Every structure is written in C-alpha cells, then in structure tokens.
Amino acid sequence: MNHDTYSDDYIRSILNGVKSIAMVGASPVEVRPSYFAFKYLVQRGYDMIPVNPGHVGKSLLGRPFVASLADIGHPIDMVDIFRSSAHIMPVVGAALQLDPLPKVIWMQLGARDDDAAAKAEAAGIRVVMNRCPKIEYGRLSSEISWMGVNSRTISAKRAPIPTQGMRLSLNRTSVGGGATAASDRAAKNKSELS
C-alpha cells in the first residue's frame, strides 16, 4: 500500500470501524499532544486505553495506565502509536503478539516506519502512518471547520457540536483525498532536525 497518501474512504472506514484504541505513549501531562488526542477520542465515544510504563499506577481521564499492550487483557481494535519512528518496530512487534490481533496500527504525525508497516500488513493489519486520528476525525466530520479550518468537506449543514460520547458522522462528502500537506511538511521538518 502507498503510505504517502490515504483516501478519505480508507481513513473513514477505520475511524468508523474501531471502538477500542490503545494509545502507546499516552501522557497525563495536559499540554502534551497525546493528552489532547486521548481526551478528544474519549469524548467521541472511543474506548481509550493509555499505555505507558512510566505512568503505571496513575490514570488518564479515569482510565488506568497499563505498562504494555500485553497488559490490557482484552481485545483491542487499534493501536495508536504516539512514539518517535525509532520506537515503532518494537510496538508493532508487541501488537503482533496479541490474540486476537488489532485491526489497525496507527502512527501519529511525524512517525513512520515502512518496515513495521509491511510487517503489520503481512499479518492482515491495516496501517496508517504520519496522521493523527483526532485531526482526521475532525476533518471528516467537518468539526474542524468550527475553528475556521477548511476541512475540504461539503455540506449544507454545519456539523452539530458533539456531546460527551457522541460520534459525529464521518460520511460527509469531501473534495480531494486525505493527503495533508501540513503533516507531510511537519514530518519532513522533524526529520531534518534529527
């Protein structure tokens, strides 16, 4: 699969098809991007599990941290990796040890490992790299347009403001694919700084 761009239908089918998400690298620090993404996805009704061995004994929005994917103890639909590219392969390896396997491996903005993606896809797992589910959800639901951002979705009606646990429709017509030039620039700039 070409991981340089994703169709809206591919992203939409993932976000509509998963219920439980293990976020590897979740942080209880309220100014960290993983905290914002975690909170947003909880508010949209996803069953979020924070995975971070450095925070075991703490909780994030009422959900206790676990040290590893193996410690979750029940099936999960998606593993959202909030780690740098250098740490992706071990997380994918741990995900491939789960029974049943997760449906999706999602790597956050700036994170990409083509070898790990190939390994996951060989096991039948769908992969997204260098994207944020929070941003993609907001874009596809047109919720992001409330802040004046062009979501590239077309609708005569503004998306409703969601209430706790409410999932917005991701089935709005969109123009152009899921390619996000800003995320591509961010990943490029991050790799240039390394």
Share of residues in the chain with pLDDT > 70 (%): 74
Burial of 91 by CB count in 10 Å (0-12 exposed, 13-18 middle, 19+ buried)? buried
CA distances to 51, 114, 176, 178 from 181, rounded to whole Å, are: 29, 19, 12, 10
Position with higher pLDDT, 191 vs 120: 120
pLDDT one-digit tens code per residue, 17-51: 999 999 999 999 999 999 999 999 999 999 999 99
Residue 173 is predicted with a pLDDT of 55
Residue 142 is predicted with a pLDDT of 74
Between helices 133-141 and 8-17, what is the axis angle to 10°? Answer: 110
Instruction: Kindly state the average pLDDT of the residues 109-135.
Output: 97
Share of residues in the chain with pLDDT > 90 (%): 68
* pLDDT score of 88 more than 70: yes
Strands 63-64 and 59-60: antiparallel
**Mean residue pLDDT across the chain:** 85
Instruction: Identify the structural domains of the chain with CATH numbers, from first to last.
Output: 8-193 (3.40.50.720)
CA distances to 54, 62, 65, 140 from 59, rounded to whole Å, are: 12, 6, 5, 30
CA distances to 16, 30, 61, 69, 106 from 11, rounded to whole Å, are: 9, 27, 26, 23, 10
* pLDDT score of 75 more than 70: yes
pLDDT one-digit tens code per residue, 159-175: 555 555 555 566 655 54
- Sign of the C-alpha dihedral, residues 35, 56, 18, 84? positive
pLDDT one-digit tens code per residue, 146-158: 544 444 555 555 5
pLDDT-wise least confident of 64-68, 101-105, 168-172: 168-172
Position with higher pLDDT, 179 vs 129: 129
Provide the token pair at 176.
Answer: 């152009």
pLDDT band at 115 (very low <50, low <70, confident <90, very high): very high
Provide the token pair at 94.
Answer: 């741990």
What secondary structure letter does DSSP report for 9? H
Residue 24's H or E segment, with its range, is: strand 20-24
pLDDT band at 14 (very low <50, low <70, confident <90, very high): very high
